[in-house]
Amino acid sequence: MAAAFLARGAPRALAFGSLRRLHTVYQTAELPETHQMLRQTCRDFAEKELMPLAAQLDKEHRFPAEQVKKMGGLGLLAMDVPEEYKGAGLDYLAYSIAVEEISRGCASTGVIVSVNNSLYLGPILKFGSEEQKHKWIAPFTSGDKIGCFALSEPGNGSDAGAASTVARLDGDEWVLNGTKAWITNAWDASATVVFATTDKSLKHKGISAFLVPMPTAGLSLGKKEDKLGIRASSTANLIFEDCRIPKANLLGQLGMGFKIAMQTLDAGRIGIASQALGIAQAALDCAVDYAEKRMAFGSPITKLQAVQFKLADMAVALEGARLLTWRAAMLKDNGKPFTKEAAMAKLAASEAATAIAHQAIQILGGMGYVTDMPAERHYRDARITEIYEGTSEIQRLVIAGQLLKAYRS
C-alpha cells in the first residue's frame, strides 16, 4: 500500500514507519510535506474520479465499487494499518486529510472510507489477536472487501449500553440473536464487528464484541434504507437468527465490548468530522464559484456586502472546525487522550457543514434548490453528520463530562 503512495513522489526520508514522529501538537504552522502530498493526491483523485459521478451515484443509490477498488490501491481504505497487515502505515492526521478530500468529491464515498478505516479495522487493530489481524484486516485493505460496524439497535439509539442482541456460548460456537440497525455499508460488507450482550446481569459490562463474516448462515439483511443523503452508501438492519460463529471470533476479552465500542467511536468521530469538513468545503466552493459568476445590479454578487459576510462566516466556521479535527487527530497520533477533542471536532465540523450548506443554498437562490447544482446534495449529505457516530447532543455531554472531570481533579 505504501508503495502506491511512494510512487507518487514521497521522499524516502519520510518513510511511513517514522511518519508518526513527524509532528506533535502545535509543532508546525503547516502540514508536513508527506501530508501535503497526500492531500493533493486525494484531491486529484476526488476531482477526477468522484465529482463527475457523485450526482449520479446519489440519484441511483449506487455503491461506487470501481472507485472503492481504486482507493484501495492508493492505500486509502487502511490508512493507519501497519504495512505488515497490508495497510498504508500512515497516521490519523493523514486519515483525516484523506477522508476530507474524498468527501469533498462524494460524501457517500467518504463515509464508506471512514467506516472501513475507523469502525471496522480500528477495533480489530487495537483489540484483535495476531491471528485475527491477519485474517480480518489484510483482506479488507485493497478495496476487494469492506467491513461494517454493528452497534446501534432499533430500540437503543444513543444508549449504546442497552444492547438487546444476545450471544450465548454453545460448545465451540457463539450463537447470536437480535437486530442491529442503521448499519453503514451493510449491503456491501464482507464482515462486521458486532456487539452483543453475553451477561445481562452485568449491564454494559456484560457486552462483548464479535467478528462475523458476511454472508453467513443465520444473518440476513433488512431493506436498504431510502435516506435523505449519503445515498450511494447502503444502510440497513442486520438480523441475527441463531447465527453461529466460531468461539475464536470473540474480539478482545469477554465483557470488553462496551469499552471497545466507546474507544472505537472516539476515533471514528475524527473520521466523521473529516467527512463533514469535506462536505462543508464542497458547499463553500460551490457558493463562491456561483457568486463570482452570478451578475446582479451590473456586478458579480460577490461585490454585495451581504454575500461577502455570508462567505466570511462560512470560511471561519470551516477553518475553525478543521483545526479542531486536526488537533484531535494529532493527539491520537501522539498517544494523548483525545476523547474530548474528538467530540469537539465532530460537533464543530458537523454543525459547520450543515450551516455552510444552508448558506450556500441561500447564496445560489433558486439554483440551490434544484439538482442541476450540487448545493442541494451537500445540504442533504451534511445533515447526517450531526446524527451518526454520536448525535450533537451526545457530543455536548461528552465534552461537558470531560471538562468537569478536569476541573474537579
Distance between CA 223 and CA 237 in Å, rounded? 7
Q: Which residues pair with 169 in a beta bridge?
A: 174
Provide the 8-state DSSP code for 35: H
Question: Which parts of 158-206 are beta strand (E)?
Answer: 166-170, 173-184, 191-197
Residue 308: partners with Cβ closer than 8 Å, 6 or more residues away: 302
User: What size, in residues, is the chain?
Assistant: 409
| Euclidean distance between CA atoms 97 and 42, whole angstroms | 8
DSSP H or E run through 331: helix 305-333
Percentage helix, strand, coil for the chain under 3-state DSSP, each rounded to 5: 60, 15, 25
Q: Which of 356, 338, 346, 339 is nearest to 322 (CA)?
A: 346
Which three three-digit cell numbers place residue 194? Answer: 458486532
Nearest Cα to Cα of residue 124 among 249, 294, 234 = 249
Residue 403 pairs in a beta bridge with: none
* Active-site residue flag, 386: no
> What is the distance between the alpha carbons of residues 31 and 391, in angstroms, rounded to a whole number?
30
What angle separates helix 257-293 from helix 339-364, to the nearest 10 degrees?
A: 30
CA-CA distance, 211 to 47, in Å (whole number)? 35
Annotated catalytic residue, options 100, 376, 386, 389: 389
Report the C-alpha gap between 332 and 116 in whole angstroms. 18
Residues with catalytic annotation? 389
